[in-house]
Amino acid sequence: MPLVLATTTPGEPELFASLQGEGPSAGKPCAFVRLSRCNLACQWCDTAYTWRFTGDNRPHRSGLDYERRANQVTLSEEDTAARIAALGKPRLVVTGGEPLLQGAALARMLAMLPGVRVEVETNGTVAPHPALDPLIAQYNVSPKLAHSGNPADLALVPERLAHWAAEPRAFFKFVVAEPADVGEVLELARRYEIPRERIYLMAEGTDPATLAERERWLAQLCLAENLTLSKRLHIELYGDTRGT
């Protein structure tokens, strides 16, 4: 079964080398593969081209939709693994969309990359495929808060949050747009007993000026609550562009 990838330009899969921009591995050189399709719809999503295809009326603040054939491409598991190996990086970040929707095919592809440390970026609502889970070194779990626009019963699934809170490979990365969002994070941390040392708070924004403005007050909240501030290093370095 092939993998369904996002594209950088029509027909070109979004598969590239860069520095990890967010979370506990920020600044580390990585290979990246961005898979297409998502089960949620964040109104501020910066990769809406992975899910908001023509005819999809789920809300997004841009109002844009994307032609599927130009923004989605299929690659065999073998071809995907070969392209990742050719990048020559010791760490692979699998992102999306929601990568765990393609867990079985992803597991078969990763089995062809022994020795590569694999991180998966997930919204936390989908259980890892049993064949995939042993291949993953780190999960970057980003549960979506109320300001994402997703209904809580879809975005904050109790059994999944409990699973990730108990999983030592899982780090939580919450997108924060205003100070009140941090209260929601603290309540989730209390309810699911998420260790604070595994919680990262990251400002929402797709330009350096917005991020800098929000990080000023977010840094103070991280200090007060003993949480970790995550930058969006790739935005500062490359802007809001595909393949970076």
pLDDT over threshold 90, residue 229: yes
Contact 230, 26 (CB under 8 A): yes
Distance CA 32, CA 19 (A): 9
Q: Is 131 inside a domain boundary?
A: yes
Contact 28, 234 (CB under 8 A): no
Q: Is 224 inside a domain boundary?
A: no
Q: Is 182 inside a domain boundary?
A: no
How many angstroms separate the first and last alpha carbons of the chain? 27
* Helix (H) and strand (E) counts in the chain: 8, 11
Q: Report the domain count for the chain.
A: 1
Mean pLDDT for 214-226 is: 98
- The confidence score (pLDDT) of residue 70 equals 98
Mean pLDDT for 156-183 is: 98
Distance CA 153, CA 237 (A): 36
Q: Is 81 inside a domain boundary?
A: yes
Residue 17 pLDDT grade (very low, low, confident, very high; cuts 50, 70, 90): very high
For residue 105, give its domain range: 3-171
Q: Is 184 inside a domain boundary?
A: no
Mean pLDDT for 166-189 is: 98
Q: Is 120 inside a domain boundary?
A: yes
Q: Is 37 inside a domain boundary?
A: yes
- The confidence score (pLDDT) of residue 75 equals 98
Mean pLDDT for 7-15 is: 97
* Residue 115, token pair as written in the block: 């020795």
Burial per residue of 225-239, b for 16 or more beta-carbon CB atoms within 10 angstroms, e otherwise: eebbbbbbebbeeee
Share of the chain above pLDDT 70, in %: 100
Mean pLDDT for 203-221 is: 97
pLDDT over threshold 90, residue 194: yes
Q: What separation in angstroms does the CA of 7 have from each of 11, 19, 94, 143, 158?
A: 7, 19, 14, 25, 33
Tell me the average pLDDT of the chain: 97
Distance CA 87, CA 116 (A): 12
Mean pLDDT for 155-177 is: 98
Find the CATH number of the domain harbouring 30.
3.20.20
Contacts of 11 (CB under 8 A, 6+ apart): 73
Q: What separation in angstroms does the CA of 92 have from each of 55, 84, 113, 191?
A: 33, 8, 10, 32
- The confidence score (pLDDT) of residue 1 equals 79
Q: Is 52 inside a domain boundary?
A: yes
Q: Tens digits of per-residue pLDDT, 44-80?
A: 999 999 999 999 999 999 999 999 999 999 999 999 9
Mean pLDDT for 229-237 is: 96
